[in-house]
Amino acid sequence: MPEATRRIVIEPLTRVEGHGKVSILLDDNNRVAQARLHIVEFRGFERFIQGRPFWELPVLVQRLCGICPVSHHLCAAKAIDGIIGVDQLTPTGEKMRRLMHYGQIFQSHALHFFHLASPDLLFGFDAPVEKRNVIGVIAEHPDLAVQGVMMRKFGQEIIKATAGKKVHGTGAIPGGINKNLSIAERDELLAEVDQMMEWSLKAVEIARQYTLTNLATVSEFGAFDSNHLSLVRADGAMDLYDGKLRAIAADGSQIIDQVAPLDYLDEIAEEVRSWSYMKFPFLKKLGPETGWFRVGPLARVNACDFIDTPKAEAARREFFEVTDGVPSNLTMAYHWSRMIELLHSVEVIGDLLHDGDLQGDDLVAPPGERRGEYVAMLEAPRGTLTHHYRVDENDQVTMANLIVSTTCNNEAMNRAVAKIAEDEISGAPEITEGLLNNIEVGVRAYDPCLSCATHALGQMPLEVKLIDAEGNTVDRRTRP
Amino acid sequence: MSDRRIAFTIDGRKIEARAGQTVLEAAEEAGVYVPRLCWMKGLTPAGACRVCTVRVNGRPQSACTQPAAPGMIVENDTEELRELRRDVIDMLFVEGNHFCMFCEKSGACELQALAYRFGIAAPKYPFMFPRRELDASHPDIFIDRNRCILCGRCVRASQELDGKHVFDFVGRGRDKRIAVDAEAGLGDTDCAATDRAIDACPTGSLLRKRVGFAVPVGRREFDRQPIGSDIERPAAAE
């Protein structure tokens, strides 16, 4: 701990996925010296999958998470495609996987916006905790609460139709997919698309209006300049299932572009800090001090040149009207960009459902030349996800490295907490209700999945501790 | 074998067996399911798993090894025996490392299917978490001993159906495990991917490599109906 500081700890954090706590270190003048989002649980997935046969991985590693298992399922499947030498899936294999992935993005974004974030946006950060929750939303905005449920259900039905189960399915297999989409499944989903589109457009409008109405607040709230990283298609379009890495600086200038996932180690490294099980990735070109970046909806909307579906592209242009065309660096802009992606997802889903390739029978591409090592990436709901495996000649995994989205946002979440704490409590060594609320709102904007990020187990409540220069806890508040 | 019919009852239902048939075989022919794991059609019965335990004239016997005899009174589907079988299945689960959630045999596994049939949502005994060896040395076959229940079906199938002796038991008690007849592992044996011993495994312990999850959820063997449903016929239909 830095000399002459006090520490505030917030534990547990609520309405995020996983378990974490926050420490705020104060100096002798009770000013914020540093804030730390501790990820204190550990699961060790990367170690215990060693020795397992490679074809098991897509089903095994998705058990990291019950919220976006599809991301891990598909990312592992993509890596295994590479291991068995499949560089191009069949049209049915590729499109079924894409449908599964966009269904996943859709349900996850709907869940986050309507059920986790909307209480903060609808009632204000300082509204009483008793009201500022999903039950409060159901009571005062029943239409929105129902939309959230129905939208999540739609995404889950897509996952079931493509993966066999709503949670932890088996659809993606090495080289392809194990089923196509029946006409009956297609028609059931198609019947819902127009409604989903209408609600998605409304959700974008809610997020946009919220941001514009509260522009003065959100321009300051947990805001800071950062680099942004995401996959983009070869032509610079947003692509959530595949693509190559692009990193841009806070002003929009490119740092790296079209870096293949296989070359990620040339560009990205991870730093370990003693107080968290979650690592800190950074761009090697810039180093750990300035090379950290944000991922997820905000980074993706910032990094892409355009979105190739018309409604989402129109929404993206509106987003950039506010920033005069340069990237947005506001923590709270995550909500708006997340809803632009929600809209993009339903547009992609609608297009895919009209594609006859989904009813094809050519499900799996034949294996090519075997590789001992492969790296796959995709854009999970929370950001860039990397799976890196080595497999020996007996088909057993010898090494795994999983860099998940929340890990990429680690530094950013710490910065957001520090900024919020500085604005809220400097000079008063006390954890106020307002501080607790604001820290939660700030962290929640990143939609962190802490269980994934540490490959961790358990519930996710919030604890905040205030610790003084001698290391004594001077205040502590928890929220179950 | 004579054509003489042997009459006995199972749970009060009249059964006719042919001479030489076991209780389990006669029951199956008559449409009565006796749960089993180590028994497999075409193999010498071993009486090893005890899942098929019935009461014969009041005495517990394994139905797969008990020859049918005239006038026997067999109890099969009683609460007492269901409870006993549940316990046996339960112990098989906790004795190994059975993680159905990522096992490719899930949905087609006889052990899992029996647990579903008997309504076992979670084991009542503590997990033993044994340390078990994998053997991936064969180019086409994978052994995961975590999922082995020591039923011996692969041992018998290799000898009786494949004319080989690839598998056998070594060790005793809780250290008992399946071994192969080469020190370097399965890859050094004459085991082939076409061996019927591989199909004999009721769990995900003996697997053909790179098959994995090719069968989608909903189309796996026990997705459609509980294990034993293909055997069961109501008495009235006879």
Name which of B136, B137, B214 is nearest A53 (Cβ-Cβ): B136
Q: With contact defined as beta carbons under 8 Å apart, do A402 and A63 qualify?
A: no
Mean pLDDT (chain B) is 95
User: Structural domains in chain A?
Assistant: 5-41+411-479 (no CATH), 47-359 (1.10.645.10)
Q: With contact defined as beta carbons under 8 Å apart, do A41 and A19 qualify?
A: yes
- Contacts for A180-186 with beta carbons within 8 Å, 24 or more apart? A180/A92, A180/A96, A180/A358, A180/A359, A180/A360, A180/A361, A180/A363, A181/A96, A181/A99, A181/A353, A181/A358, A181/A359, A182/A359, A183/A359, A185/A161, A186/A353, A186/A358, A186/A359
Share of chain B above pLDDT 90, in %: 93
Q: What are phi and psi of A414, to 5 degrees?
A: -60, -40
Burial of A307 from C-beta contacts in 10 A (0-12 / 13-18 / 19+): buried
Q: Does B195 touch chain A (CB under 8 A)?
A: no
pLDDT for A479 equals 64
Per-residue pLDDT at B237 exceeds 90: no
| Nearest-angstrom CA–CA distance, A451 and A449 | 6
Tokens of A14: 């609520």
Contact yes or no for A53 and B137 at CB 8 A = no
| Nearest-angstrom CA–CA distance, A8 and A473 | 7
pLDDT for A427 equals 66
Bridge-based pairing of strands B5-10 and B134-135 is unpaired
pLDDT tens sequence across B64-117: 999 999 999 999 999 999 999 999 999 999 999 999 999 999 999 999 999 999
Q: What are phi and psi of A201, to 5 degrees?
A: -60, -40
Q: With contact defined as beta carbons under 8 Å apart, do B202 and B1 qualify?
A: no
Q: Please tell me the CATH code under which domain B85-208 is placed.
A: 3.30.70.20
Alpha carbon B12 to chain centroid distance? Answer: 26
pLDDT tens sequence across B108-156: 999 999 999 999 999 999 999 999 999 999 999 999 999 999 999 999 9
Residues of B in contact with A170 (CB under 8 A): 213, 216-217
Name which of B102, B136, B214 is nearest A396 (Cβ-Cβ): B136
> Could you state, in order of their start, the residue ranges of all structural domains in chain B?
5-77, 85-208
Domain B5-77 has CATH 2.170.190.11: no
| Nearest-angstrom CA–CA distance, A248 and A250 | 7
Tokens of A323: 């920033």
Q: What is the pLDDT along chain A (480 residues), one digit of tens a residue?
A: 445 566 666 666 655 555 667 888 888 877 888 888 876 555 678 888 999 999 999 999 998 877 789 999 999 999 999 999 999 999 999 999 999 999 999 999 999 999 888 888 888 887 887 788 888 888 899 999 999 999 999 999 999 999 999 999 999 999 999 999 999 999 999 999 999 999 999 999 999 999 999 999 899 888 899 999 999 999 999 999 999 999 999 999 999 999 999 999 999 998 888 777 778 899 999 999 999 999 999 999 999 999 999 999 999 999 999 999 999 999 999 999 999 999 999 999 999 999 999 999 999 999 999 999 999 999 999 999 999 999 999 999 999 998 888 888 888 988 888 888 888 776 666 777 778 778 888 888 888 775 454 433 333 456 777 777 777 777 777 765
- Minimal-distance CA residue of chain A relative to B204: A56
To the nearest 10°, report the CA torsion of A84, A89, A95, A96.
Answer: -40
E strands present in A226-331: 227-232, 244-248, 254-259, 268-271, 280-283, 293-294
Q: Which amino acid is at B65?
A: T
pLDDT for A477 equals 76
Tokens of A120: 């903060």
The interface pTM score, or ipTM, of the predicted complex is 0.92
pLDDT for B1 equals 47
Residues of B in contact with A58 (CB under 8 A): 213
Interface test with B, best of A65, A70, A173 (most B CBs within 10 A): A173
Q: With contact defined as beta carbons under 8 Å apart, do A261 and A377 qualify?
A: yes
Contact yes or no for B210 and A174 at CB 8 A = yes
CA distance A365 to chain B (A): 13
Residues of B in contact with A56 (CB under 8 A): 102, 104, 212
Write down the residue that tokens 């076991």 correspond to.
B22
Q: Is B111 helix (H, G, I), strand (E, B) or coil?
A: helix
| Nearest-angstrom CA–CA distance, A105 and A70 | 9
Q: Does B33 touch chain A (CB under 8 A)?
A: no
pLDDT for A43 equals 64
- Minimal-distance CA residue of chain A relative to B141: A394
> Quick check: do B5-77 and B85-208 share a fold?
no
Contact yes or no for B104 and A169 at CB 8 A = no
